[in-house]
A and B are shown apart, each in its own frame.
Chain A
């Protein structure tokens, strides 16, 4: 009898890249449903267009690069990128905005750098940053939760808004995001308390945002529980952002928002659990992850408070992506039986 030979190990955990990515997608579902509740059909169009463009572009690039389609399409990494972008962009975004964002994410940030595993920058955030810089008006007009929540805007109105360039009542249905509102009004000399009297605010941040953040948090915690992501990045990111905002808030609560406001606003929780944790573009060592995510938290605060953009997670992530090779090199963990970096 002749047997096949191979080298050890001969066992493998029942795990593949596709399964990892699929779990990330499952974890995105609760947050997406809450978004749907508050913002209506626009979330669905975002998602369908986003996923469609992402898959189409991925397949196109694989073809052009002469890579096999099936193994790479079933790794679901393009779906995760598409999904993340779709929920990060304002609902009811015009179709071309989504397409441009996806081109930057899938074609430029991912495939031109060598495809899965080789991209130094987080593809979803490259896409987001590109459209944010190019189309600030579209990117800052977020629909108002109460007015656009499910059932308030019909499907046909939604399609008209997305494909035909806008419904007449649209301007009345949007408003600046809480982060943006605070920034603009602070510059007008108002205090945080005065601004928060405005109707855009819920009990912590903008209306509905608390629930969206809680739902992202639930999905994120499940990912940690499933060991798909480690705790390091979310914890460090949130701690750094909370720490920074706490410091300034304690110094002057009239001109700086509270830590809680920062945690619940914008894409903080989504970023901490789903975006900054993108394995390919993040640091891989435990200490490196802490520094990487801590950096994102600090930059997010700085850009939010002193920068000119409504949200800052994307830029903060991209900045820290650049530091990853350095972080990885200098944060190697102590190997068994050797002295560590500091002689420990």
Chain B
């Protein structure tokens, strides 16, 4: 069951000297309770997709685990109360966004009881016999989203199209970004729950499995020996041969969905397609554990592991944090800020988001709070075409050419250079000796291209409307003329030959109109991008 599995290592990416992980792995995870927090701020939109519909109102009392907003739309999940208490307001509050954007949040004043009431979902103990629909339904009901960072509703990912045959379920425990250790600690401490979560997923996918069963590969970077060991023991305990723990080389960004799939299976996900197109489905270890909690314990997703780390906090460590707790409270739990604190980043040092303030709630996407010291800002020099960026790019792009074209606003060339395959991992900017903020250029270029596409779609739509309107006017005119002709015909009793001609004429005109209609292009559908974790 162990190891000695072949993997497909790639030469690109980064081998860092220090991943800065030890600082936050020295002590066990500390559980924080929401009961004595002054307030919880629970944003409605914590996933990628449609906003759920609020079903409580200010003044209501809610139990822990009670649904606050239910899924609405195709890609949506409900949101639950992280503790019991009274709803003070439903209002706009700042959310985790670099520009301090606000969004609709439920403000919950805990009553200190942390009371579930009757709000636990009914545990599905015999998940091994449950139907896929029941399991998916539960995952959706529990508000579970991808906890690796993409926060895409997990039930939808598990709902694989009927025609798709899967071969491999990849479980992502790589955790390749510097500073982040929440998955590492989760694997050390909750290995058997993760493994059970994997078994539940295997059950939910059994209709798509080949006859010998679906293979479940759990990829963990080899800089986490304790996690590998714990997962190993837990996997052996199940005696299920489908589950294999695979230590993978420590190399950023191994934890990117597409990168991990390639390392574990040797297969590449085609550009612009999804992993299921090559028979692979990928979920994060924390997601697997959340699925376990939802199915076996009947608990919705109301807390998660969060790493608090960096030179800017007194006691770096991991916490089990109720969703909605203020980041400020969380940092205080870690001993508060040191004098070096200069930057607050949600996520890791390569792909995280810098936040202007800590008066922001922890959400399902919050895997790490990194309080960094002041970095020396180097001056940006011109690109010297050294090619270091291309060597580092895990997707094999030519970052330097992308940069060149993005700077010249040559969007067509930018697209030709596969900008939409860029995962914004930051490897290129990390190595660039000229200190060019390469990823910024790609973000702008992507946004530009989206804006351009949108504008074009709007123009197309407008033209179509115009054409339709024109066609309607013409048809009215034509019909009037035809009617008139008929009247005349009746009055003058024409010969049958003329009759025929009129019919031909009418047919011709109809054909013409139809052609005109077809000539107007249909609006192109933009494919939903699958953002790798």
Contact = CB atoms under 8 A, between A and B. Distances in A.
Q: Do A and B bind each other?
A: yes
Nearest to B350: A9
Interface stretch (A16-24, A26-34, A128-136): A16-24
Given A1-B341, A337-B258, A15 B433 contact: yes
A203 interface: no
Contact of A12 (B347, B384, B391, B430): B430
Nearest to B428: A9
A332 B429 contact: no
A279 B384 contact: yes
B337 interface: yes
A118 B382 contact: yes
Interface in A4-55: 4-13, 15-17, 19-20
Nearest to A12: B430
A180 interface: no
Contacts of A71: 379, 381
A43 B378 CA distance: 36
A184 interface: no
B270 A337 contact: yes
B349 to A, nearest CB: 4
A171 B246 CA distance: 73
A11 B430 contact: yes
B158 to A, nearest CB: 23
Interface string A193-218: 00000000000000000000000000
Contacts of A306: none
A12 B378 CA distance: 10
Nearest to B272: A337
Nearest to A332: B398
A338 B387 contact: no
B269 to A, nearest CB: 5
B421 A337 contact: yes
B431 A13 contact: yes
A157 interface: no
Contacts of A4: 342-343, 354
Interface string A66-92: 000001100101000000000000000
Given A279-B387, A280-B384, A328-B401, A8 B439 contact: yes
Q: Which of A6, A11, A72, A334 has the most CB of B within 10 A?
A: A11
The secondary-structure label for the interface of chain A is loop
Given A13-B431, A335-B396, A338-B271, A7 B387 contact: no
Contact of A285 (B343, B357, B398): B398
B257 to A, nearest CB: 11
A342 interface: no
Contact of B356 (A5, A75, A282): A5
A9 B16 CA distance: 14
Contact of A333 (B347, B398, B433): B398
A15 B439 CA distance: 18
Contacts of B272: 337
A116 interface: yes
A338 B443 CA distance: 21
Contacts of A115: 382
Contact of B354 (A5, A15, A279): A5
B435 to A, nearest CB: 7
B349 A17 contact: no
Contacts of B430: 9, 11-13
B507 interface: no
Contacts of A338: 270-271, 418, 421
A1 B357 contact: yes
Given A1-B337, A4-B342, A16-B435, A9 B384 contact: no
Contacts of A17: 381, 384, 433-434
A326 interface: no
A174 interface: no
A11 B178 contact: yes
A38 B356 CA distance: 63
Contacts of B387: 230, 279, 284-285
Nearest to A336: B395
B206 to A, nearest CB: 28
Interface of B: 98-99, 178, 258, 262, 268-273, 337, 341-345, 347, 349-358, 372, 375, 378-379, 381-387, 390-391, 394-398, 400-401, 417-418, 421, 424, 426, 429-431, 433-435, 437, 439-440, 443
Given A333-B396, A338-B421, 11 more contacts: A3-B342, A3-B344, A5-B355, A9-B430, A10-B352, A10-B372, A20-B433, A71-B379, A118-B382, A336-B262, A337-B268
20 contacts: A1-B358, A3-B354, A4-B343, A6-B343, A7-B354, A7-B437, A7-B439, A8-B424, A9-B430, A16-B433, A17-B433, A19-B433, A71-B379, A115-B382, A116-B382, A117-B384, A280-B384, A280-B385, A335-B271, A335-B397
Q: What are the nearest 10 A-B pairs in CB distance?
A: A9-B426, A117-B382, A337-B271, A5-B354, A279-B386, A336-B395, A9-B350, A11-B349, A284-B387, A3-B344
